Amino acid sequence: MNQTIFKRRTLLQAAVASALPVSTFTFAQSAWPTKPVTLVVPFPAGGGTDAFARPLSGAFSKLVGKQLVIDNRGGAGGTLGASIAAKAQPDGYTLFMGAVHHAIAPSMYPKLDYDIEKDFVPLMLLANVPQVLVVNPKKFPGDFKAFLAAVKASPGKFNYGSAGGGTSHHLAGELFKQQSKTFITHIPYRGAGPALQDLMAGNVDMMFDGLGSSAGHIKGGRIKALMVSGLKRNPAFPDVPCAGELGLPDYTVTTWYGLWAPKGTPTDVQAAIVDNMKKAALTDEAKLAWANNGAEFGNLTPVQYGAFVSAEVKRWAAVVKASGAKLD
């Protein structure tokens, strides 16, 4: 190549690079990810969050060629893991997979050392599933009508497990008590996984769980589904009646799961995370896992997801106030 032409081309490339926004140029030089990514899951293995984090991890790792490592940090209704993730280096290599519980927590935990709306960047809504009333089939062999009669006949005799105080499992139980005019005792655990194990063992009587963590156990006959929340049946479990059919038309509770990054994560890295995670969630492998768990993919932009989270924080604050729910 002529030396003069080479010099002109080099100068032109430098001028174009200097004119680009810093984030665009940085992203062009160092595409994310260049190493394994840690996904903090704030509940023990075997819970609803895990039911979506695991297939997402597998799909992401195959698609991108870098491992998505699940780091289960259970405790305090999911707030312990959230606190850890909020303090992580904002470089895109530590992400947080939270849930509806994290929109409830501000109303239940007055001294949180993080703010879900201020200390995180909202990225995407990954999955939305209805809540389901599941029981130990040995204790409640009949249908919902028989179950309700038994619970009403013995106030305080029966209990329900949850993933922890202030989680959607807890609030779903409180709403059920209000609307069905029953009294059952709340037993909090350090995650849905341990609660489900005790339900199957007969140590608790029932759970108001997300289909994500209960689906496999329902299909395996280890627990029995009596009702899904809302006004329509779930396609994955068409034989399970919905709350509207059973005389509880206002019992609408969903469990959703979403993705955040620590505040300060560069905008170009945020865009790369969303792009790659969305591709992973829409692979055949992930879509099958979503369908098996009765879930829908939440196709929201980061801005829409942020607005959704803010609305959920307000909604659950009203539910907590109306129910008088407290940490056990």
Contact 77/47 with Cβ under 8 angstroms? no
H helices of 65-206, in order, are: 79-86, 101-108, 144-153, 168-180, 192-201
Q: Which residues contact 245 (CB under 8 A, 6 or more apart)?
A: none
Query: Would you tell me the crossing angle of helices 48-64 and 267-281 to the nearest 10 degrees?
Result: 100
pLDDT tens for the chain, residues 1 to 328 = 444 433 444 433 444 333 434 333 333 334 899 999 999 999 988 888 999 999 999 999 999 999 999 999 998 889 999 999 999 999 999 999 999 999 999 999 989 999 999 999 999 999 999 899 999 999 999 999 999 999 999 999 999 999 888 888 999 999 999 999 999 999 999 888 899 999 999 999 999 998 888 999 999 999 999 999 999 999 989 999 999 999 999 998 888 999 999 999 999 999 999 999 999 999 999 999 999 888 999 989 999 999 999 999 998 998 899 888 888 6
130-246 sits in which CATH class?
A: alpha beta
Contact 295/125 with Cβ under 8 angstroms? no
How confident is the model at residue 25, as a pLDDT?
33
How confident is the model at residue 6, as a pLDDT?
37
End-to-end CA distance of the chain: 76
How confident is the model at residue 2, as a pLDDT?
44
Q: Please report the sign of the dihedral spanned by the C-alpha atoms of residue 287, residue 291, residue 293, residue 297.
A: positive
Residue in the block written with tokens 């059920």: 176
Give one DSSP letter per residue of 199-248, joined into a string. Answer: HHHTSS-EEEEEHHHHHHHHHTTSSEEEEESSSS-BTTBTTSPBGGGGT-
Q: How many CB atoms lie within 10 A of CB 19?
A: 8
User: What are the distances in angstroms from CA 16 to CA 22, 121, 180?
Assistant: 12, 30, 67
pTM score, whole prediction: 0.80
H or E element in which residue 54 lies: helix 48-64
How confident is the model at residue 233, as a pLDDT?
94
How confident is the model at residue 327, as a pLDDT?
83
Sketch the domain layout of the chain as residue ranges: 34-128+255-323, 130-246
Q: For the domain bounded by 34-128+255-323, which CATH number is listed?
A: 3.40.190.150
The burial class, CB within 10 Å (0-12 / 13-18 / 19+), for 18 is exposed
Contact 272/27 with Cβ under 8 angstroms? yes
Helices (H) and strands (E) counted in the chain, each on its own, are: 12, 9
How confident is the model at residue 48, as a pLDDT?
86
Contact 208/160 with Cβ under 8 angstroms? yes
Query: In a 3-state reduction of DSSP, which class is residue 43?
Result: coil
Token pair of 2 as six digits? 């002529």
CA distance 297 to 137: 31
Q: Which residues contact 173 (CB under 8 A, 6 or more apart)?
A: 160, 162, 184, 186, 208
Torsion on CA atoms 240, 292, 128, 197, rounded to nearest 10: 80
How confident is the model at residue 46, as a pLDDT?
85
Verify cis geometry, omega within 30 degrees of 0, for the bond prior to 21.
no
